């Protein structure tokens, strides 16, 4: 089950990478329409451009495309660009919405020649629908079963050639046979601060905002490497400037706006800091079991593990070991505390085990 990115107050996290309705509305107005306008992901863009150009030169539909990576990096936008570049219609659906083979058959049978079908979160599609998709991707044909039991009849249905664009945040959950049927696979990486500045400059121009170069850097550095978060923070800075009558937003104004929303200089919000503070203050830096840590911050275990931990681990603030979670040196420093001599990350055995997948059970004596 997907875990919504929510803070302890129950509202959506400002630095959560999952999009809400407002994000969708904003993204629709800010989305680039071509690969040339798309910022970042230089390697994927170059490879995808080659795939699309070759298909147009051959006069055939493009190979199926799989886009993987964390949420908020532009998978949906790239799917729209693919359809735009190929000058064909785009059909959008998602894995969770296709729970029966008949659901997929209805979509596939209504496609037109060359149309792009975008399936978001494709790894969450049901197994029967997934098995039907194998034949549709490879042979452009599906078998429709009519009737039940001994009287059931399989009717072959030919499909027009189409291009499937699948998006997933968890490529490891895709079965091999499905992965192998994609002609091109692109993995989207987190953005650097300079790349996010380019995203923000483009968005600010479309939103008619006047900002200094330092203000763009300030917002970009707090955006956790994710364009969706960067645009969301830009909206909050815009609101703050409007209320305070600031016409030209500088770094100080941008910082003050984001400080008010409790997004610190490294992009951590209240939930992230609560996890680090509990780990350092209550458990002396660990190791501590996941469930004990979750209880200490008043959150569900799944929330801590899937919402807070990925970014904290990526930033080198938190480590996961078979014995539990430990605070890294950067965590103490970020909280303004001196790293103690007894810190768990200094234990050679735990340092060796940092790359080991931790157990979820509460194994430490917190």
Helix (H) or strand (E) holding 49: helix 42-58
Identify the CATH class of 193-261: mainly alpha
The active-site residue out of 23, 45, 61, 75 is 75
Q: Answer yes or no: is 141 a known binding residue.
A: no
Q: Answer yes or no: is 181 a known binding residue.
A: yes
Residue 190: CB atoms within 10 A of its CB come to 18
Residue 226 near residue 191, CB atoms below 8 Å? yes
Identify the CATH class of 270-356: mainly alpha
Report the alpha-carbon distance of residue 161 to residue 75 in Å, rounded: 22
182, two tokens: 């994609």
The active-site residue out of 61, 163, 168, 169 is 169
pLDDT given at position 338: 84
pLDDT given at position 361: 38
pLDDT given at position 319: 87
- In sequence order, the β-bridge partners of residue 92 are 118
Q: Is 76 a catalytic residue?
A: yes
The active-site residue out of 91, 224, 228, 238 is 228
pLDDT given at position 359: 42
Q: Answer yes or no: is 139 a known binding residue.
A: yes
The active-site residue out of 23, 45, 91, 120 is 120
Q: Is 306 a catalytic residue?
A: no
Q: Answer yes or no: is 333 a known binding residue.
A: no
- In sequence order, the β-bridge partners of residue 91 are 117
pLDDT averaged per 10 residues in sequence order, the chain, 366 residues: 44 60 60 86 93 91 92 91 92 90 88 93 89 89 73 79 92 87 92 94 91 95 92 93 93 94 90 91 87 91 86 88 86 85 66 52 38
Q: What are phi and psi of 225, to 5 degrees?
A: 70, 20
pLDDT given at position 351: 60
Convert the pLDDT of each residue in 117-129 to its tens digit.
999 999 998 888 8
Residue 235 near residue 245, CB atoms below 8 Å? no
Q: Answer yes or no: is 217 a known binding residue.
A: no
Q: Is 75 a catalytic residue?
A: yes
Q: Answer yes or no: is 140 a known binding residue.
A: yes
Superfamily of domain 26-187: P-loop containing nucleotide triphosphate hydrolases (3.40.50.300)
Report the alpha-carbon distance of residue 190 to residue 23 in Å, rounded: 19
pLDDT given at position 43: 92
Domain locations in the chain as residue ranges: 26-187, 193-261, 270-356
Q: Is 264 a catalytic residue?
A: no
Q: Is 282 a catalytic residue?
A: no
Q: Answer yes or no: is 301 a known binding residue.
A: no
Closest residue by Cα to residue 232 from 73, 19, 10 = 19
């Amino acid at each position: 089950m997907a875990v919504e990115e929510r803070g302890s107050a129950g509202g959506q996290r400002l630095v959560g990478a999952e999009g809400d309705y407002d994000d969708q509305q904003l993204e629709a107005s800010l989305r680039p329409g071509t690969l040339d306008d798309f910022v970042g992901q230089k390697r994927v863009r170059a490879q995808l451009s080659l795939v699309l150009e070759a298909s147009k030169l051959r006069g055939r539909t493009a190979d199926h495309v799989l886009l993987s990576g964390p949420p908020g990096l532009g998978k949906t936008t790239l799917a729209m660009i693919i359809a735009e570049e190929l000058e064909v219609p785009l059909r959008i659906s998602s894995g969770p919405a296709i729970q029966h083979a008949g659901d997929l058959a209805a979509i596939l049978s209504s496609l037109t020649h060359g149309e792009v079908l975008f399936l978001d979160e494709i790894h969450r599609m049901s197994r029967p629908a997934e098995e039907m998709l194998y034949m549709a991707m490879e042979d452009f044909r599906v078998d429709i079963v009519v009737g039940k039991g001994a009287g059931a009849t399989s009717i072959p249905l030919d499909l027009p050639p189409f291009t499937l664009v699948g998006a997933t945040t968890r490529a490891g959950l895709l079965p091999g046979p499905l992965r192998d049927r994609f002609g091109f696979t692109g993995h989207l990486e987190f953005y650097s601060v300079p790349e996010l500045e380019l995203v923000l400059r483009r968005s600010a121009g479309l939103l008619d905002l006047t900002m200094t170069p330092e203000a763009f850097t300030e917002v970009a550095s707090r955006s956790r490497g994710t364009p969706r978060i960067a645009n969301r923070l830009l909206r909050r800075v815009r609101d703050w400037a409007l209320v305070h009558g600031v016409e030209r937003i500088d770094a100080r104004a941008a910082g003050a706006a984001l400080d008010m929303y409790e997004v610190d200089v490294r992009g951590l919000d209240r939930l992230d800091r609560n996890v680090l503070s509990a780990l350092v203050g209550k458990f002396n830096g660990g190791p501590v079991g996941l469930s004990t840590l979750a209880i200490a911050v008043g959150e569900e275990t799944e929330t801590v593990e899937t919402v807070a931990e990925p970014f904290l681990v990526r930033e080198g603030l938190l480590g996961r070991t078979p014995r539990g979670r430990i605070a890294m040196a950067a965590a103490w420093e970020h909280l303004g505390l001196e790293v103690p001599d007894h810190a768990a990350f200094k234990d050679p055995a735990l340092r060796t085990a940092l790359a080991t997948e931790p157990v979820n059970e509460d194994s430490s004596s917190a």
